[in-house]
Amino acid sequence: MRTKITFASLFVMLGAATAAQSQTMELVVPFGAGGGSDTVARVFERGFSAALDRTIVIRNIAGASGTIGAAAVAQASADGNTLGYIPIGPLAIQPSLRDTAYDLDSFDYICQTTSTPVFLLQSAGSDKSEVAEWVTQGADSRVVYGSSGPGTIPHIAMAAFATEADMNSVHLPFDGTGVAMNAMAGGEIDLFVDTATVMESYDVTALAVFSAERLEAYPDIPTMAELGYDLEFSVWQGLVAPTGLDEAQKSALADACSAAVDATAFQELAAQTNTGLMYRGPEDFEAFVRSNAEVNAQILQDAGLTQ
Amino acid sequence: MIDVLMDVFNIWTLSALVLGTTLGILIGAMPGLGSVVGLSICLPFTFGMDVVPSLTLLLGVYCGSVYGGSISAVLVNSPGTPQAAATALDGYPMAQNGEGGLALGWATMASVIGGLISCAVLILAAPQLSRFATSFGSVQVFALIVLALTCIAAVSHGNTAKGLLMGVIGLMLALVGTDPVTGAARFTFGTQFLSAGFDLIAVVIGLFALSEAFWRVATGNKETAKVSGVRLRLPSLRAWKGRVRTLLRSSAIGSFVGALPGTGAATAAFISYAFARQSSPKRDNFGKGEPEGIVAAESSNNAVTGSAMIPTLALGIPGDVVTAILLSALVVQGITPGVRMMSENLELVNAIFVVLILINLVMLVLAFPLVRIFGKLLTVPQHIVTAGIIVFGILGAVTVRGNPMDVVVAVAFGAAGLLFRLTGFPLAPLVIGLVLGPQFEQTLRRGLLLHDGNFFAFFTAGPLAMILFFCAFVAVTAPIIGAIRRRGGKSAPDTNADNRETGGR
Instruction: For residue B194, give the chain A residue with the closest CA.
Output: A64
Cα–Cα distance between B305 and B265 in angstroms, integer? 8
Number of H helices, E strands in chain B: 22, 2
Q: What pLDDT band is residue A307 in, cutting at 50, 70 and 90?
A: low
What residues pair up with A119 in beta bridges, in sequence order?
A: A194, A209
Q: Mutation test of the interface with chain B: which of A1, A2, A189, choosing the one with the most B Cβ atoms within 10 A?
A: A2
Q: How confident is the model at residue A122 (pLDDT cuts 50, 70, 90)?
A: very high
* Residues in Cβ contact with B289 at an 8 Å cutoff, skipping those fewer than 6 apart: B90, B93, B94, B96, B97, B99, B103
Contact B204, B82 (CB under 8 A): yes
Nearest CA in chain B to A101: B192
Furthest-apart CA pair in chain B: how many Å? Answer: 70
Residues with Cβ within 8 Å of residue B22, at least 6 apart in sequence: B60, B64, B366, B370
**Residues in chain A within 8 Å Cβ distance of B39:** 34
**Which of A6, A39, A273 is nearest residue B390 as measured by Cβ atoms?**
A6
What pLDDT does A197 receive? 78
How far is it, in rounded angstroms, from Cα B382 to Cα A235?
A: 53
CA B147 – CA A16 distance, rounded (Å) = 47
DSSP for B153-206? Answer: HHTSTT-HHHHHHHHHHHHHHTTSEE-TTT--EESSTT-TGGGG---HHHHHII
Its pTM stands at 0.81
Query: For chain A, where do the domains classified as CATH 3.40.190.150 start and end?
Result: 24-116+234-302
Please, are residues B60 and B17 in contact by the beta-carbon 8 Å criterion? yes
One-letter amino acid for residue B62 of the chain: Y
The contacts of residue A141 (CB under 8 Å, 6+ apart) are A168
Length of chain B: 505
Q: How far apart are CA A81 and CA B450, in angstroms?
A: 48
The interface predicted TM-score of the complex, written ipTM, equals 0.78
Q: Does A297 touch chain B (CB under 8 A)?
A: no
| Geometric angle at alpha carbon B423, from B422 and B427, rounded to 5° | 85
- A248 to chain B, minimum CA–CA distance in Å? 31
Q: Mention every residue, 6+ apart, whose C-beta is less than 8 A from residue B456.
A: none
Q: Collect all residues of chain B within an 8 Å Cβ-Cβ radius of residue A97.
A: 183-184
Q: Over the range B439-456, which residues count as b (16 or more CB within 10 Å of their CB) and which as e? A: bbbbbbbbbbbbbeeeee
Each of the 505 residues of chain B gets a pLDDT tens digit; together they read: 677 777 788 888 999 999 999 999 998 888 777 787 788 778 778 877 888 999 999 999 999 998 998 998 898 888 867 788 889 989 999 998 888 899 999 999 999 999 999 999 988 888 787 778 788 888 988 988 888 888 787 777 668 889 899 999 999 999 998 888 888 888 988 787 787 788 888 888 888 889 888 988 888 766 666 766 788 888 888 888 888 999 999 999 999 888 877 667 888 888 898 888 888 888 888 888 899 999 999 999 999 988 888 888 877 777 677 887 888 788 777 777 777 777 778 888 889 999 999 999 999 999 999 998 888 888 888 888 888 888 888 888 887 777 788 899 999 999 999 999 899 898 888 988 888 888 899 999 999 999 999 999 999 888 989 998 998 888 888 777 877 887 765 444 443 444 333 333 3
Q: What is the pLDDT of residues A239-260, one digit of tens each?
A: 999 999 989 999 999 999 999 9
> What would the CATH number be for the domain defined by A119-209?
3.40.190.10
Q: Which CATH architecture has domain A24-116+234-302?
A: 3-Layer(aba) Sandwich (3.40)
Q: In Å, what is the CA distance from A113 to each residue of A247, A262, B155?
A: 20, 10, 51
Chain A contact set for B331 (CB, 8 A): 39, 272-273
Q: What is the 3-state secondary structure (H, E, C) of B99-133?
A: CHHHHHHHHHHHHHHHHHHHHHHHHHHHHHHHHHH
Give the Å distances, CA to CA, from B369 to A56, B46, B376, B388. Answer: 38, 26, 10, 21
The one-letter amino acid code at B477 reads T
How many residue pairs from chains A and B have C-beta atoms closer than 8 A?
A: 183
The contacts of residue B319 (CB under 8 Å, 6+ apart) are A178, B258, B259, B260, B261, B262, B263, B264, B308, B311, B312
Instruction: Return d(Cα B337, Cα B341) in angstroms, integer.
Output: 5
**What pLDDT score does B324 carry?**
77
Per-residue pLDDT at B505: 38
With b meaning 16 or more CB within 10 Å and e meaning fewer, what string describes A242-274?
A: beebeeeebeebbebbbbbbebeebeebbebbb
DSSP-derived letter for residue A34 is T
Q: How far is A213 from chain B (nearest CA, A)?
A: 26
CB contact under 8 A, A188 and B442: no
Question: Between chains, do A179 and B317 touch, taking CB under 8 Å as contact?
Answer: yes
Distance CA A4, CA A13 (A): 14
Distance from CA of B391 to the nearest CA of A (A): 6
- Name residues whose C-beta falls within 8 Å of residue A54's C-beta, 6 or more positions apart in sequence: A24, A25
Chain region(s) in chain A for CATH 3.40.190.10: 119-209
H or E, element range at B328: helix B321-332
Q: What pLDDT sits at residue A11?
A: 44
**A228 exposed, middle or buried (CB, 10 Å; 0-12, 13-18, 19+)?**
exposed
Touching B: A residues 216-255, CB under 8 Å: none
Exposure letters B7-32 (e unless 16+ CB within 10 A, then b)? bbeeeebbebbbbbbbbbbbbbbbbb
**What's the CA gap between B445 and B455, in Å, rounded?**
10
Which ranges constitute the DSSP H helices of A83-143? Answer: 88, 94-97, 131-140
DSSP B418-456: HHHHHTT--SHHHHHHHHHHHHHHHHHHHHHHHTTT-GG
